[in-house]
């Protein structure tokens, strides 16, 4: 099970979402994607998309205005 960190800090919508979509495409089932963001809108649209795709999603607030979205590729 591989773990991939994608840095989307300082990027505004929809760049974090597209980065997450591109990263997930190249990953295997069971792999974990950690998307680093500091744009609060991405906290809404990235998990929304990932859950709709059926992946497992967790959000962690790592600092003031900074989050990690952890996505486990399920299928």
Partner 1 sequence: MDIRKNEFYKKWFKNAWTYVVGAILLSVFQIITLAVTGNPWGVSGVLANWGAWLYQAVGGSVDKWYYFSSEGAQKTLEAGFWNHGGSMRNLGIIFGALLATLFASQFKIKKIKSKKQVLAAVLGGLLMGYGARIGFGCNIGALYSGIASLSLSGWVFALFLFLGAMVGSKLLVKFFM
Whose Cβ is closer to partner 1: residue 8's or residue 50's?
8
Q: Measure the CA–CA gap between 66 and 23, rounded to whole angstroms.
A: 20
Q: Measure the CA–CA gap between 51 and 12, rounded to whole angstroms.
A: 21
CB of 23 to partner 1, least distance (A): 11
Which of the residues 13, 43, 59, 70 is marked catalytic?
Answer: 13
Write out the residues near partner 1 by the rule CB under 8 A: 9-11, 14-15, 18-19, 22, 38, 40, 43-44, 63-66
CB of 38 to partner 1, least distance (A): 6
Closest CA to 39 of 69, 11, 71, 5: 11
């Amino acid at each position: 099970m591989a773990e991939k960190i994608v840095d989307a800090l300082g990027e505004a919508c929809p760049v974090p979402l597209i980065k997450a979509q591109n990263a997930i495409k190249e990953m295997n089932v069971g792999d974990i994607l950690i998307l680093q963001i500091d744009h609060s809108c991405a906290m809404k649209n990235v998990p929304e998309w990932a859950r709709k795709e059926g992946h497992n999603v967790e959000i962690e607030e790592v600092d003031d205005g900074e989050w990690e979205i952890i996505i486990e590729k399920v299928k």
